[in-house]
Amino acid sequence: MIDSQSLSGRTVAFVNFGTGTAMDLSGGSKTSQNSPPNGTPCIGYQPHLNESQQWKLVKWKDDDLGVPSSGSRTSWQLGITGWQYSTFGCHQDWYINLVGVFRGNGTVVKPQTCGPNTFVDLRYGSSDNG
């Protein structure tokens, strides 16, 4: 895993290494009058790196660092949704696993959920928007 101290408070974009598609909060933007409602889907979209593709990392806790819980197949293929920030439960906790640093591509990571132990994935590797 990457050192959590160096990432806390940083704003990042998650761009798929294979397809070049960015993780995007559908319709998400601070410039609109209202924030997107809870449950807004996260989608794969061509990278523009505006607000809907910017993610702020917040270090939450150190316990069980590097020891993800065992997963369940029932949690596979569920979509990721945006939700107002909360420290309640484990549904917003992610492990950021370092894959490597590649010239021209920056730091490559695999975001993994704390609870169901699944990874962010572009289903079937598609680079299509949505």
- Per-residue pLDDT of 2-11, as tens digits, reads 565 677 788 8
- Tell me the percentage of the chain whose pLDDT exceeds 90: 2
C-alpha dihedral over 37, 68, 95, 7, to 10 degrees? 130
- Per-residue pLDDT of 92-106, as tens digits, reads 777 788 888 888 877
Count of all residues that appear for the chain in the document: 130
Beta pairing partners, 24: 43
Mean pLDDT of all residues belonging to the chain? 72
Long-range CB contact pairs, 4-8, < 8 A, 24+: 4/59, 4/62, 4/65, 4/96, 5/59, 7/57, 7/59, 7/96, 8/57, 8/58, 8/59
